[in-house]
Amino acid sequence: MQVGIVGLGRMGGNMAARWRDAGHEVLGYSRTSPDRDVTSLEEMAEKLAAPRVVWLMLPAGEPTRQALRDLAGLLSPGDVVVEGGNSRFSDDPQHARLLAEHGIGYVDCGVSGGVWGRENGYAVMCGGEDEHVRKVWPLLQSLAPEEDGLVHAGPVGAGHYAKMVHNGIEYGMMQALAEGYELLEACEYVPDVPKVLASWRHGTVVRSWLLDLQVRALEEDPELAALSGRVDDSGEGRWTVEEAVRLAVCAPAMTAALYARFASRKPDAAQLKALAAMRQQFGGHAVHAAPAPAGQG
For helices 10-21 and 130-143, give the axis angle rounded to 10 degrees: 90
Neighbour tally for 275: CB within 10 Å: 15
Does a cis peptide bond (omega within 30 degrees of 0) precede residue 34?
Answer: no
Catalytic residue among 83, 135, 163, 236: 163
Which residue(s) pair with 83 in the sheet? 56, 108
| Residue-by-residue DSSP string for 88-138 | -GGGHHHHHHHHHTTT-EEEEEEEE-GGGHHHH--EEEEES-HHHHHHHHH
Backbone angles phi, psi at 221, to 5 degrees: -150, 85
Catalytic residue among 170, 179, 182, 195: 170
163 is catalytic: yes
Could you give the residue ranges of the DSSP H alpha helices within the chain? 10-21, 41-47, 62-74, 92-100, 117-120, 130-143, 158-186, 193-199, 209-220, 236-246, 252-264, 269-281
CA dist list (Å): 253 to 89, 142, 161, 169, 262: 22, 34, 19, 8, 14
Enumerate the active-site residues: 163, 170
